[in-house]
């Protein structure tokens, strides 16, 4: 009697799993229609891709596998953004703090960046949709092959006028602000202005115009995965009036239904810009 009972339980479990899948699919379709019907989309979406290593630990696989899943998810989310007509997105894939991790891990990440930059440069979606891609951050100490891959990707998409995609790699918000101030002061010095005069005339607009992505609007919506409720230095200057959404799932497990829920939440907010 034990065997038939076990078989029946397995069959019932498969049936329940299939039913949940159908219900989730139906919910996702309805949610997608609601989000599209509302029409309000972020003009610039920020994505903090957090939780790749924890996803790997929870799944009992090597951390490198977690990064591979994370890359696949980034490609998925790019497609979702294109389908919904989101004009600009910045995805944070490596911070300045991450660069200080275990050398073997960083070396593996650099190989992934080299590979994926070259893949993006050939991606039909990038060219069909006119996506302009730019790598932002501090890259001076990156391996030459990675720098070449990132620069080649930027060159091949520089003329496009469609979606703007910023890849924040080797990026830190504090470092970005420092770099902006340095550039401004250097320009003032080149124009013959002394340090005291330059400092006395410094305005927020002077810093804004020298940020890494100064030619696109500040992010109006920022999503962070993994359950961490902090920015960790992501676009510190630009995010002063951003709306935030913190999702409990690890980045590789981020589903389209999670993305749509976040957008629906954004659509229901009344942005007051500090007023």
Q: What is the pLDDT of residues 5-49, one digit of tens each?
A: 676 556 656 666 665 767 778 999 999 999 999 999 999 999 999
Region 180-197 average pLDDT: 96
Determine whether the annotation assigns residue 115 to a binding site. Answer: no
Q: At what angle do helices 63-84 and 52-59 cross, to 10 degrees?
A: 120
Residue 145 has pLDDT above 80, yes or no: yes
Reduce the DSSP state of residue 170 to 3 states and report it: strand
Residue 163, pLDDT > 50, answer: yes
**Token pair for 45:** 């979406």
Give the mean model confidence (pLDDT) for residues 129-152: 97
The DSSP code for 211 is S
Residue 232, marked binder? yes
- Give me the pLDDT at residue 8, please: 57
- Selected catalytic residue, list 50, 114, 123, 218: 50
Alpha helices, DSSP H only, in 42-143?
52-59, 63-84, 103-122, 124-128
Q: What is the mean pLDDT of residues 235-249?
A: 97
Backbone angle region of 60, left / alpha / beta, with phi > 0 → left and psi within -120 to 50 → alpha:
left
Task: Output the pLDDT for position 272.
Answer: 83
Domain ranges of the chain: 42-267
Model pLDDT for residues 114-130, shown as the tens digit of each residue:
999 999 999 999 999 99
Q: Is 101 annotated as a binding residue?
A: yes
Cα–Cα dist 169/98, whole Å: 10
How many residues does this entry show for the chain? 275
Q: CATH fold of 42-267, please?
A: Undecaprenyl pyrophosphate synthetase (3.40.1180)
**98 is an active site residue:** yes
Question: Once rounded to an integer, what is the mean pLDDT over residues 130-155?
Answer: 97
Of 129, 171, 134, the C-alpha closest to 150 is 134
Check whether 54 is labelled as a binding-site residue: yes
Q: Is 55 one of the annotated binding-site residues?
A: yes
Give pLDDT, residue 257.
96
63 among annotated binding-site residues: yes
Does residue 20 or residue 263 have the better pLDDT?
A: 263
Q: Distance between CA atoms of 138 and 120, rounded to whole angstroms?
A: 20
Name the catalytic one among 72, 98, 114, 265.
Answer: 98
Residue 181: half-sphere exposure toward Cβ, Cα within 13 Å = 13
SS3 of the chain: helix, strand, coil, percent, to 5: 55, 10, 30
Indicate the average pLDDT of the chain. 93
Please indicate if the annotation marks 224 as binding a ligand.
yes
State the number of CA atoms in the 13 A half-sphere of 8 facing the CB. Answer: 5
Tokens 């942005």, located at residue: 271
Is 96 known to sit in a ligand binding site? yes
152 catalytic per annotation: no
For the stretch 86-103, pLDDT in tens is 999 999 999 999 888 899
What pTM did the predictor assign? 0.90
Residue 152 pLDDT class (50, 70, 90 cuts)? very high
């Amino acid at each position: 009697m034990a065997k038939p009972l076990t078989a029946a339980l397995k069959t019932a479990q498969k049936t329940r799993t299939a039913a949940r899948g159908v219900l989730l699919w139906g919910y996702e379709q309805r949610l997608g229609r609601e989000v599209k019907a509302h029409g309000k989309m972020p003009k610039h979406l920020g994505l903090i891709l957090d939780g790749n290593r924890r996803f790997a630990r929870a799944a009992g696989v090597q951390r490198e596998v977690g990064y591979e899943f994370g890359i696949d998810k980034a490609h998925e989310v790019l497609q979702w953004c294109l389908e919904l007509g989101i004009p600009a997105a910045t995805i944070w894939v490596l911070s300045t703090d991450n660069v200080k991790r275990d050398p073997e891990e960083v070396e593996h990440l650099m190989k992934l960046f080299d590979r994926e930059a070259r893949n993006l440069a050939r991606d039909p979606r990038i060219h069909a949709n006119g996506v302009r891609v730019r790598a932002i951050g501090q890259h001076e100490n990156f391996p030459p092959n990675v720098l070449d891959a990132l620069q080649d990707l930027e060159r091949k998409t520089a003329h496009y006028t469609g979606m703007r995609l910023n890849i924040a790699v080797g990026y830190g918000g504090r470092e970005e602000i420092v770099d902006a101030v340095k550039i401004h002061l250097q320009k003032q010095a080149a124009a013959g202005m002394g340090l005291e005069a330059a400092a006395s005339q410094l305005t927020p607009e002077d810093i804004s115009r020298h940020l890494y992505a100064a030619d696109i609007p500040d992010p109006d919506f920022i999503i962070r995965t993994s359950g961490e409720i902090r920015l960790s230095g992501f676009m510190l200057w630009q995010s002063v009036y951003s709306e935030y959404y913190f999702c409990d799932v690890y980045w590789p497990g981020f589903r389209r239904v999670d993305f749509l829920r976040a957008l629906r939440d954004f659509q229901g907010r009344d942005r007051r810009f500090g007023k």
